[in-house]
Amino acid sequence: MINKMNELNRMGGIVSVCLYPISEVKYCFVQNGKVYFNSEWSGLVLPLLSFRGTPNSDNDEKPSGVVYSHSLSLPIRYKPSWIDLYLRHGFVAVVTSSTGVRWVFGTKRYPLFGHCKPHIGTTPSDGEYYLLSLSAECDTEVSPLAD
């Protein structure tokens, strides 16, 4: 668990994010530390701003077992017209890091939900953008996608 979390925390920036509406996910499960995922869709690619996205994963031990929190905070250039509709139904996100590893956030059983709000940067070079925040509480940790 610790090694995988250290790996995730050293992702080195997000290159791309594909969102898969939960209704389009055929299956998504973890076996031997890898995620097996299938969707008939090619995914909805987000218009990211550089490498400033923030992935996070944490765990909390409870009497009923371990709960894993998956979260993404992603600055995007504009708000896609489809985003509000799908935010109500949930997503599974496949995040590609700068090292080429594809990580899966959320599951079919525990999809990501969130919101997309306008954000004004703190410096003139930041400009204005939208901040997409997604999170889920899952029964598995964030894991790399199986090849």
Contacts (Cβ under 8 Å, ≥6 apart) of 94: 17, 18, 20, 37, 43, 102, 103, 104, 105, 145
More confident residue, 112 or 3: 112
pLDDT band at 44 (very low <50, low <70, confident <90, very high): confident
Has residue 55 got a pLDDT over 60?
yes
Distance between CA atoms of 23 and 20, rounded to whole angstroms? 8
CA geometry: angle at 143 spanning 138 and 146, to 5°? 125
Whether the per-residue pLDDT at 79 is higher than 60: the answer is yes
According to DSSP, the residues that pair with 27 across neighbouring strands are 38
pLDDT at 143: 83
How many residues make up the chain in this entry?
A: 147
Is the pLDDT confidence value at 113 over 90?
A: yes
The pLDDT of residue 136 is 93
Residue 26 pLDDT more than 70? Answer: yes
Mean pLDDT in the chain?
A: 83
Q: Give the ranges where the chain is alpha helix by DSSP (H).
A: 2-9, 83-89
- CB-based contact 51:13 (threshold 8 Å): yes
pLDDT of residue 51: 58
Give the Cα-Cα-Cα angle 88, 135, 34 (nearest 5 degrees). 110
Q: Return all residues near 10 (Cβ < 8 A) that are at least 6 apart.
A: none
| pTM reported for the whole predicted model | 0.81
